[in-house]
Structure 1
Amino acid sequence: MKKTAFLAVLMTVLLFPACQQSADNEIASNDKEFKVDFEKFTLDNGLQVIFHIDRSDPVVAVALTAHVGSAREVENRTGFAHLFEHLLFLESENLGKGGLDKMSARIGGSGANGSTNRDRTNYFQTVPNDALEKMIWAEADKLGYFINTVTDPVLAKEKQVVKNEKRQGVDNRPYGHTSSVIHSNLYPKDHPYNWEVIGSLEDLQNATLKDVKDFFNSWYVPNNVTLTIAGDFDTEQARAWVKKYFDEIPRGPEISKMEKRPVSLTESKKLYYEDNFARLPQLTLTWPGVYQYHPDSYPLSVLVQYLSRGKQAPMYKKLVEEQQLSDNVNFFQYNSELAGQLMLRVTAFDGKSLDAVAAGIQEAMNEFEANGISQADLDRIKAGQETNFYNGLSSVLGKGFQLAQYEIFAGDPGFINQDVKNILEVTTEDVMRVYNTYLKDKHYIATSFVPQGQASLVLSGSSLAEVVEEKIVQGAEETFDPSLAAEYERTPSSFDRSVEPPYGPSPVIGTPEVWRSDMASGIRVMGIENNEVPLVQFEIQIDGGLLLEDQGKIGVSNMLAQMMTRGTASKTPAQLEQAIEALGASIGAYSTDYSLVISANCLSKNFPATVELVREILLEPRWDEKELELLRQSVISQLQRQQANPNAIASNEYAQLLFGEGHILANNNLGSLESVPNISMEDLKQYYTTFLSPSVSKLHIVGDVNQDDVMTAFEGIDANWTPKTVDIPAVPEMPAVTVSKVYFYDVPGAKQSVLNFGYPALKITDPDYYPAFVMNYRLGGGGFASQFTQQLREGKGYTYGIRSRFSGSNYGGSFTVSSGVRSNVTFESADLVKEIMSNYAEGLTESDLEITQGFMIKSSARSFETINSKLNMIRNISNYGFSDAYASERIAYVQGLTLDELQGLARTHIKPDQMIYLVVGDAATQFERLRELGYGEPILLNRP
């Protein structure tokens, strides 16, 4: 993706209903009817347009989806589709330099973003509905008035950004090369899925301007694009705007439909690689599968879930519980337009042979083959679909995505009706049939990725995989001048497209009404009734977490939280899991630095039953010794995996530097490799009986349930949870940083350096906290509107992404600049960050103030769109004492902000000479150069 990883929540098996306005397709739940109407039309140039109306919030999502992904590329010219995802944000003839990113900051958008996969590339953003015409104008400009702005310097810079993305997502992470090894061996060399979506560094470097323009002119044409608009807008007006801005973009060459290309294997292939970043062995088995929406994809989705997920899953029972080879089994489909695959991934415990893992997998399959799947288990798996179905209705952007998905890959957004029917019609016989067809005795690709020096753990008979590792060479990347303006002849138009359309009527922004109540036991309750969809989300937050732990037993609250969902006094772990799944609910527990939280998501019709299960989990723990041992191994495995991840290393080391030795919050709340093996059941029981009390608990709830029904449902918890006095200890102040120092953590061979620069800063309750948050927008909090991004990514090509942020709690806070940068520009990146911070206050202008105010004020229209955003609002009010109207109060503050005040905030809170400069990277090539920062001799944190 262009900026952030996007979770394709609606692209799996759980979809939402869509129907043309002439149809009467409805799905009922909880005695209420929900339907998503859509209107579809086609312009003369072939552009497909889909509208969906949702009046719940004054926002609109706009998505432009091109039917082109890496499958349309050719050998030696890979990565072009993804490269275009980047290029289309940079400039167009009428938006000018900065393109949609620059406009997004002004109009209060969610941040223009995009994603690329094998078969399509999309561009999307949610904006206040007064900016709809601006978005239609901008999207049309990208499609019809963009390619002339791409020059050799522009291409050179964006190559560096994409290469940095590959380093970050592939080359500098454990098991990052697994996917390329699988696909290059599963698919023939001439198959469009043989290469990775992101392409190779060599192909990207070799791309010429002519290559790029030819690719755009072939695929970015109206007859290969779908425009989706979803939200609160006038359809007649929007139709007129779409025709105005898109109609005269010429139709492109006719594009033939790609034929399905399923693959088969004549033999199994076993490959291995010693991974520089891996700390644990990992086995991945991949079988040829089916293309998207193939009839067999539905029973296959049931099969992979049944085999691998949950206490009753054959592979979980065999590999996790019985043989204790791993803590997790991940089996999933990866289906695309032309073909698909079934992927089974197991990360084993330290030192475990992958032969043993493979043998355990086969034993589990043999058991499934003998027993099959019961109707009860099939129904249990289907039950969860309804909840996720409605979760997909939570955002207008999600609806827009799915409408486009069906249009492009199924030929009709109304395919949802058949899709849902296919899901619900799966039988136990279907599940066994697809097992026999696609898994039983079938050839596969097996990849064993193991830590360096542990080749003895790989699957027997494996051959060394071909993996291209980039070498770190100082000064190896080409340079470019980002200031050069593109010179081109403007594309003619029937009207002046350089004039940005005006805003529409300002949206009416409402603040959700919060209700409050206190239970007799002391639980404080806050809720928002929201009946847009028949869902309820809630959490019981119990103050404490890491704060209440003993320094010698760090990790107790985390392990207690996870143990609480592993059975109850009257239900085995498997029975509890089945009871939750039968309701289509999800219940989880986790611990943070400040609290232990039990959270739930359910259909409103199953809310009372879900609360009853939460009551059991909270008040009737099982204390299962076998589960504790499994959990202990799992946490140790998580900690070992963190040791291999440069980003996790940076986070853990930065916390220790911020809080200082001996501070409770300097610890990783998972615990440590030293503490976790020594945590006993008695430790968990002592924490439970001493610190879990309604007197320090809050219930936060949002959804389709009223206050009276909430209080009634929680009577069982209120009446049976005995309050006790719990004192949260005082937390020492974080030590001030008086002079800057440079710290280095060596990860030999790292292709990127992870930077975490910062200092202890404001608590979230400090009067200056929100003002400082606003001030940081143009520094590093505003994405492409920020100076860090503009200079380090857009100006230099040093990084894929960089940000700065103020984060705070009731106990302390920090200011942090974080990024992953190309290894051979580690010093240059650090020095530029320092320079930007040093000049920030004096360089702020009235324009910076105007852009900051525009974004902060207009983005408020998106503040409470989803259930999650409403729940977050309650957390802020409940935990930090914010008023119910804090969102409106913040708007008023921003409206009255002056440039002098903004500069004053920057002078006070941006302190480049009083900061921690932490670098996690390759010391052999980068350590010595950091002396040039001027902060003395760097301190090596993991000195041998």
Structure 2
Amino acid sequence: MKSFQFLALSILLLTVSVSHAQNDKKKTESKEFKVEFEQFTLDNGLKVILHIDQSDPVVAVALTSHVGSAREKTGRTGFAHLFEHLLFLESENLGKGGLDKMSARIGGSGANGSTSRDRTNYYQTVPKDALEKMIWAEADKLGYFINTVTDPVLAKEKQVVKNEKRQSYDNKPYGNNFSVINSNLYPANHPYHWEVIGSLEDLQNASLQDVKEFYNRWYVPNNVTLTIAGDIDVKQTKAWVEKYFGEIKRGEAIPKMEKQLVTLTETKKLYHEDNFARLPQLTLTWPSVYEYHPDSYALEVLATYLAKGKKAPLYKTLVEDKKLTDEVELSQYNSELAGQYILNIVAFDKTNLNSVMDGVNEAFKNFEKEGISTQDLNRIKAGQETAFYSGLSSVLGKGFQLAQYQIFAGSPDYINQDVKKILAVTTEDVMRVYKKYLKDQHFIATSFVPKGQANLVLKGSVVAKVVEEKIVEGKEDTFDASIAATYTKTPSSFDRSTEPAYGESPSVVLPSVWKSKLSSGLSIFGIENKEVPLVQFQFQLKGGMLLENRSKIGVSKMLSELMTKGTKNKTPEQLENAIESLGATIKASATDESIIIKGNTLAKNYAETIKLVQEILLQPRWDVKEFELIKQSTLSQIQQQKADPNNIARNEFRKLVYGKESILSNNRIGTESSVNDITLDDLKAYYNLNISPAVTDFQIVGAVSKAEVNRSLADLNKNWKSKKVTFPTMKIVEAPQSSKIYFYDVPGAKQSVIRIGYPALAATDADFYPASIMNYRLGGGGFTSQLTQELREGKGYTYGIASSFDGSTTKGPFSISSGVRSNVTYESVNLIKDIVAQYGPTFNANDLEVTKSYLIKSNARAFETMGSKLNMLYDISNYNFPDDYAKQRENIVKNISIDDIKKLSEKYLNANKMIYLIVGDAETQLKKLEQIGFGTPILLNK
């Protein structure tokens, strides 16, 4: 979605950019991996970066403007992010909603964007035959946009962004934490003093004139970088860029912003009683450095060493020794002008945060005594090397990296310096930056605790200023965003109103799948892919919650976590070190129907990584201490879920969809009662009964051949004894015969979380894929879906809404999911009901054309990444799909008719036979829902 993802993206980019030349230093067999590019600048100042990658017939296009919240005016905070939303809506030649409509027709990944403190970007991956269309569209947004913005459009988008703020900040645990931190860490005149999303008051006050001034100042070619990466013809691409962008006028000169590091003269302690929190949280934040500062490299290593893994001083002290929490997070958030170092700890229930602070100080003292060894430094760097390659597994990842260097380091070629600096980090550097930035330095400490538990906050804390919105019935602005803007079109040297034609259609080649069945019963599914020197794999041990005792729900989830906590011959710390020294990751998790052990490793270390997985599978440690830690961690997760309206909705919806008789009605992590009753013997019993090669599939993708894979599994095949595993008969769940409304009360909720649906289809049912085709225009097509167009784009009720059919080998639900402004709960539910009821009868030729165009053309990028190839193997192995099922589905799409869609809608979209669940504020919203016509709503938590 057009989303506020700046932190995750900046971390990804940093990870990608800091680590690939371990090979040079160690002189290993791997060749140096480089991202080649060509760079040029148009006369109007637009910087262009091109990168060729012909591994898939796709192209990623990213337009990045060097403006974020740091360049906003006081009193107009959140404007850069609001503007990001506006830029998607319309432009002179694309028309209203034109980019989203085009994205659907051309099979694109969906136009998206993100805003940070320092930049705003817009991006999409498309089949290569649509490249000229994308360049035309991006140029239209940059140069031919501003005339289309009207007061009603601005009013509507304000509501969308407000809904995003409610969803991401105001209606979730600890959502206001960073606002408190940043407003106290950075002085009022510092551009990082406010949050990227801004304040609701400032958003409300933004005027159309503000929008125009912002556009004319910052959205000019000389402040923008265009990155195009993928299967391109460089000469032709240059010509298109010049044609469509060349005549957009240069703006005023953009002054360079000077670095603005901050220093604290005192430690500040603040606290907040959080309406949604169920556990106390302590966050410590130190002033740090800007992006690419010489010390940022050692600080990155320090964060990993202090907090991540069994050997980490913070983990050892707070998790293992003092048992105050189950996780410690330490990271640096570096931006263009300054940075911050953030330690975050969610403590166990009723834990006094002063005890947590004592533990932090104790861990720091231990680090001061012991330091970091060369072995640990190399272990961390090995992980960075693998992370680098992973970040380059898509053309979009490469494009982002190149743009990042251009904007914040001055040149895409900075990669060479960047790598040298990460490799130059020494153990002395790590201790030096610790002493400079953390030891005895002032910091911001925020204690966020549940309501009524102020006794848990740090001593000396004062009440934090947290602005909480009051939502009043009938007080929101009214608007009609459908009113067309009237304006004189911006002149151009050619007719821009005609969308460019497609280029030559790409020939989509499906990955070649190979299979093996070993004598133990282990089934193998593989795809050889040498684009990057990586291997990704997963062992899928079928069973999961389906094989659990109903009174002990949570066993398979706890077992999955315990499996990677040591082996018979390796302590948990020794196993962790062995994995990380290979630059690998091995993680185990549980689903409703499986335990999955997933690995990611450099190809050169694949065989050694598999040996460790074999040890994990066949030689469990059954570590009592680790089991108790996992148990406490699970109880903590259950507590946290009780506070989050989205988790509440997910858990309650499962109960309603599957009913009490089905084991799938349970949350697979268990309940407080079931988890408290689980013993280590329960995990052993599950392992002895159900972990067998006879019910295990191994799926693998990467730079490794079938022969190498089979060799790597020979010992496992020989030593893993097969046993018969019996699966219980699943009771078929039926859809309700009439709709009912269920309500879960969260007093004071700023949003209502909506889940609507019923038990529908299994993935193996003949109608499953046709029903998914039918759902594309309803709610499966992102911004082209009717639900999004009417509830978000038309009414401004929500930040996002979607519908889907979800099934596996067992029947899964059809569901519609959204979070809406609290005071339009009834209006939203009623509108959704009407849209669903009218969907089939009103489905038309244009709907069918858009659906077919997207689903057929998107096949060009369907299997671009290693993850998507792994998912393909998962589908083939679990659902017995043919290897070319993607091509077969393409034929289903080509042959489906309007009449088919109408029949499917009639069969699977009966608005009067669904479960309607709302999680929100009952005092203001419950009574009104009686007007829907499904009787008196049933209150689930009285």
Scaled by the length of structure 2, the TM-score of the pair is 0.99
How far residue 880 of structure 1 moved from its aligned partner, in angstroms, is: 0.3
Q: What per-residue deviation string (whole Å, max 9, x for no partner) do you get for residues 367-395 of structure 1? A: 11111111111111111111111111200
Contact 2:279 2:640 survives alignment (8 Å): yes
Contact 1:187–1:263 (8 Å) recurs in 2: yes
Give the alignment of 1:93-492 within 5 angstroms: 93-492=92-491
Distance 2:246 2:760 in 1: 53
Number of the residue aligned with 2:586 = 587
Give the distance between the partners of 1:18 and 1:690, measured in 2 at CA: 43
Q: Name the SS for the 2:899 alignment partner.
A: helix
Question: Does the CA-based 8 Å contact 1:742-1:918 persist in structure 2?
Answer: yes
| Range moving further from structure 2, 418-427 or 369-378 | 369-378
CA distance in 2, matches of 1:202, 1:292: 31
- Name the residue aligned to 2:664: 665
Assess if the C-alpha contact under 8 Å between 1:27 and 1:34 holds in 2: no
Kindly indicate whether the alpha-carbon contact (under 8 Å) linking 2:4 and 2:81 is maintained by their aligned counterparts in 1: no
Structure 1 residue matching 2:17: 3-state secondary structure: coil
Counterpart contact for 1:608–1:713, Cα < 8 Å: yes
Aligned residue number for residue 562 of structure 2: 563
Q: What CA distance in whole angstroms lies between the structure 1 residues aligned with 2:44 and 2:4?
A: 33
Match of 1:800 in 2: 799
Q: Give the aligned CA root-mean-square deviation in angstroms.
A: 1.3
Match of 1:554 in 2: 553
The aligned residue for residue 71 of structure 2 is 72
C-alpha contact 1:222 1:250 (8 A) present in aligned 2: yes
Aligned: 1:903 with 2:902:
yes
Task: Measure, in 2, the Cα distance between the counterparts of 1:10 and 1:160.
Answer: 30
SS of aligned partner of 1:389: helix
Q: Secondary structure in 2 aligned to 1:394?
A: coil
SS in 2 for 1:226: strand
SS in 2 for 1:587: strand
Q: Is the 8 A contact 1:592 1:669 kept in 2?
A: yes
Q: Distance in 2 between matches of 1:386 and 1:408?
A: 23
Whole-Å separation in 2 of the counterparts to 1:423 and 1:157: 46
Q: Contact 2:19 / 2:385 at 8 angstroms: preserved in 1? A: no
Paired position in structure 2 for 1:758? 757
Contact 1:745/1:919, CA 8 A, preserved across alignment: yes
Post-superposition CA distance 1:155-193 (Å, at most 9, x none)? 000000000000000000000000000000000001000
- 8 Å Cα contact 1:16/1:390 also seen in 2: no
- Larger mean CA deviation between 223-232 and 655-664 belongs to 655-664
Residue of structure 1 in register with 2:526 after alignment: 527
Residue identity matched to 1:925: T
Q: Secondary structure at the match of 2:780?
A: coil
Say if 2:751 and 2:819, in contact at 8 Å, map to a contact too: yes
1:452-493 C-alpha deviation (Å, 9 max, x unpaired): 000000000000000011112101110101220011111000
Amino acid in the other structure paired with 2:128: N
Amino acid in structure 2 at the alignment position of 1:552: S
CA offsets per residue over residues 821-858 of structure 1, 9 Å max, x none? 00000000000000001111111110000000000000
The one-character-per-residue Cα deviations of 1:530-585 (angstroms, maximum 9, x if unpaired) are: 11111111111111100000010000000011000000000000000000000000
Tell whether the 8 Å contact from 1:660 to 1:735 is kept in structure 2 after alignment: no
Q: What SS class does the counterpart of residue 671 from structure 1 fall into?
A: coil
* 1:599-748 → structure 2 map (5 Å cutoff): 599-748=598-747
Alpha-carbon spacing, 1:590–1:391, altered in 2? closer, same or farther (3 Å): same
2:19–2:422 CA contact under 8 A, matched in 1? no
Residue 818 (structure 1) aligns with? 817
Match of 1:359, SS state, is helix
SS of the aligned residue for 1:91 comes to: coil
Post-superposition shift, 1:916? 0.2
CA contact (8 A) 1:18 1:35 kept: no
SS at match of 1:60: strand
Q: Is the 8 A contact 1:18 1:36 kept in 2?
A: no
Rounded Cα–Cα distance in structure 2 between residues aligned with 1:753 and 1:27: 55
Closer, same or farther: CA 752–697 of 1 in aligned 2, 3 Å: same
Q: Deviations over 1:415-439 (max 9, x none)?
A: 0000011111100110111011000
Q: CA deviation at 1:327?
A: 0.3
Shift of the alpha carbon at 1:3? 4.5
Tell me the secondary structure at the aligned position of residue 396 of structure 2. Answer: helix
Q: Do 2:110 and 2:124's aligned partners in 1 also have CA atoms closer than 8 Å?
A: yes
In the alignment, which residue of structure 1 is the partner of 2:12?
Answer: 10
- Cα distance change on mapping 1:76 and 1:97 into 2, 3 Å: same
TM-fit CA distance, 1:12: 2.1
TM-score by length of structure 1 reads 0.98
**Could you tell me how far apart the structure 2 residues matched to 1:396 and 1:746 are?**
45
Counterpart amino acid of residue 658 in structure 2: F
Letter in 2 for 1:704: A
Identity, in percent, stands at 64
What amino acid is aligned across from residue 342 of structure 2 in structure 1? M
Letter in structure 1 aligned against 2:115: T
Does the CA-based 8 Å contact 1:803-1:819 persist in structure 2? Answer: yes
Task: Report what 1:516 is aligned to.
Answer: 515
Aligned partners of 2:840, 2:855: CA distance in 1, in Å? 19
In 1, distance between residues paired with 2:348 and 2:483? 53
Tell me the residue number matched to 1:574.
573
- Counterpart contact for 1:472–1:751, Cα < 8 Å: yes
Gaps spanning 5+ residues in structure 1: where? 20-24
Cα shift readout 1:589-623 (whole Å, capped 9, x = no counterpart): 11111011111110110011000000110000000
Q: Per-residue CA shift, 1:10-32, capped at 9, x if unaligned?
A: 3123328999xxxxx99986434
Retained in 2: the 8 A contact 1:16–1:392? no
Distance 1:852 1:550 in 2: 43
| Rounded Cα–Cα distance in structure 1 between residues aligned with 2:550 and 2:30 | 53
Give the aligned residue type for 1:456.
Answer: N
Q: Is the 8 A contact 1:741 1:938 kept in 2?
A: yes
Shift of 1:675: 0.7
**How far, CA to CA, are the matches of 1:860 and 1:904 in structure 2?**
26
CA gap of 1:299–1:384, structure 2 versus 1, over 3 A, is same
Quick one: distance in 1 between partners of 2:20 and 2:654? Answer: 47
Query: Using a 3 Å threshold, how does the CA distance of structure 1 residues 480 and 405 change in structure 2: closer, same or farther?
Result: same
Q: Deviations over 1:471-530 (max 9, x none)?
A: 121011101012200111110000000010000000010011111111111001110011
Specify every segment of 5 or more residues in structure 2 that has no aligned partner in the other structure, as ranges: none
Report SS of the residue matched to 2:229: strand
CA displacement, residues 34-86 of structure 1 (integer Å, 9 cap, x when unaligned): 32210000000000000000000000000000000000001111011001110
Q: Secondary structure at the match of 2:357?
A: helix
Q: Tell me, yes or no, if the aligned pair for 2:20 and 2:389 is still in contact at 8 Å.
A: no
- Alpha carbons 1:27, 1:33 under 8 Å: kept: no
CA contact (8 A) 1:28 1:34 kept: no
Q: Distance in 2 between matches of 1:308 and 1:344?
A: 9
Q: In the alignment, what sits opposite 2:492? A: 493
In structure 2, the CA distance between the partners of 1:4 and 1:333, relative to structure 1 (3 Å rule), is: closer
| Alignment check: 8 A CA contact 1:102 1:785 kept | yes
Matched residue type, 2:50: F
Asked if structure 2 preserves the Cα contact closer than 8 Å seen for 1:18 and 1:413, the reply is: no
**2:405 touches 2:414 (CA, 8 Å); kept in 1?**
yes
> 1:497, 1:299 → 2: CA distance?
50
CA distance in 2, matches of 1:708, 1:679: 42
